[in-house]
């Protein structure tokens, strides 16, 4: 049941396994999240993973697109050096 403001928050965590991303390139992945709908507003936070710029590049989530049952996340390597493959634990909150 939504609260008086009309919002219903859904929160949780998931792990994203990213391949190596070329310098200044984009990479997209899909994450299955039960209960997410296309009309939800979603925010992401990196909990664990690459948190500092290194000589092997650095990726950031730059776009989040919810759909029914999944979230598409676009990452960008913001450096001039390719990254290595990595895992990130991310937290999400969705509000409808």
- The Cα–Cα gap between 86 and 16 comes to 8
* 83 phi/psi in degrees, rounded to 5: -85, 170
pLDDT of residue 1: 46
Give the least confident one: 25-29, 48-52, 86-90: 48-52
Does residue 3 have a pLDDT over 90?
A: no
Domains and CATH numbers, the chain: 9-95 (2.60.40)
Mean pLDDT of 19-33: 93
Q: What are the tens digits of pLDDT across the range 42-72?
A: 999 988 766 555 557 888 899 999 999 999 9
């Amino acid at each position: 049941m939504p609260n008086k403001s009309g919002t219903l928050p859904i929160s949780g965590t998931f792990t994203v396994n990213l391949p190596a991303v070329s310098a200044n390139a984009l990479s997209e992945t899909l994450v299955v999240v039960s209960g997410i709908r296309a009309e939800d507003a979603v925010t992401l936070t990196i909990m664990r993973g690459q948190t500092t710029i290194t000589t092997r590049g650095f990726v950031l989530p730059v776009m989040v697109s919810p759909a029914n049952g999944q979230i598409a996340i676009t990452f960008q390597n913001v450096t001039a050096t390719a990254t290595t493959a990595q895992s990130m634990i991310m937290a999400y909150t969705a509000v409808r």
